[in-house]
Amino acid sequence: MKKYVFKPYNKNFPTLFSAEKMRIADAVQNSLGIDCVVEHVGSTAVPGLGGKGIIDSAIATHKTNFEELVQVLTSLGYVLREQWSTPERWFLRADLADPEEGVRRYHVHVTFSESSEWKELIAFRDYLRENPSELQRYAGLKQNAAMQANEDGAMYRKLKVPLFADVLKKIKKLQNIKKGSII
């Protein structure tokens, strides 16, 4: 499967996420009896964006639950990718059956709600949902990055870094304005 491609947004993405969210939440509740927050993030969480078609979920739980939560996710077919994890966010992926594509990749980012990574994932998604011009700018960048990278993941990510930094800067400025201070 080619990973670095650009596909148009699919109206079924929210349904695919909801089904996976329920599968994860049920397994976590049944196995661990803990609560966690599961959010749809990434390109498939932004109507109209388009991208690789990977369903990204972010799960917020207490840091002490990370290892047990990863065990539950592993039982659901996810694989921990330590090289892409950080102390604040553990990254897992799975290739699951898909009615349209045969197989679809799913990512899970396990973190905690106070982490900067959780806050940035949610803020970036919400900002794109609320700013159509930024959504279009990001869609164009993703499309060009997929073509230029030619399956080189490091290059694909590098091409997107300036836009991420710019958008996160705008988000922080908006947050400061809402708090009543301007930087």
Please write the tens of the pLDDT for every residue from 121-147. 999 999 999 999 999 999 999 999 988
Is the pLDDT assigned to residue 159 strictly greater than 60?
A: yes
- Determine, yes or no, domain membership for 6: no
Contact between 52 and 5 under an 8 Å Cβ cutoff? The reply is: yes
Is the pLDDT assigned to residue 174 strictly greater than 90?
A: no
- Determine, yes or no, domain membership for 25: yes
- Determine, yes or no, domain membership for 29: yes
- Determine, yes or no, domain membership for 155: yes
3-state SS record for the chain? CCCCCCECCCCCHHHHHHHHHHHHHHHHHHHHCCCCEEEEECHHHCCCCCECCCEEEEEECCHHHHHHHHHHHHHCCCEECHHHCCCCCEEEEEEEEECCCEEEEEEEEEECCCCHHHHHHHHHHHHHHHCHHHHHHHHHHHHHHHHHHCCCHHHHHHHHHHHHHHHHHHHHHHHHHHHCCCC
Instruction: Using CB atoms within 10 Å of the CB of residue 155, give its burial: 0 to 12 exposed, 13 to 18 middle, 19+ buried.
Output: middle
The pLDDT value given to residue 150: 86
- Domain range for 81 is 13-177
- Determine, yes or no, domain membership for 4: no
The pLDDT value given to residue 176: 79
% pLDDT > 70, the chain: 96
Is the pLDDT assigned to residue 50 strictly greater than 70?
A: yes
- Determine, yes or no, domain membership for 40: yes
- Determine, yes or no, domain membership for 58: yes
The domain spanning residue 39 has which CATH number? 3.30.460.10
In the chain, the number of structural domains is 1
- Mean pLDDT lowest among 25-39, 62-76, 99-113: 25-39
What whole-number distance in Å separates Cα of residue 100 and Cα of residue 144? 25
- Determine, yes or no, domain membership for 171: yes
Residues whose CB is less than 8 angstroms from the CB of residue 143 and which lie 6 or more positions away in sequence, other chains included:
6, 50
Give the torsion sign (CA, 10, 14, 19, 20): positive
| Average model confidence (pLDDT) across the chain | 91
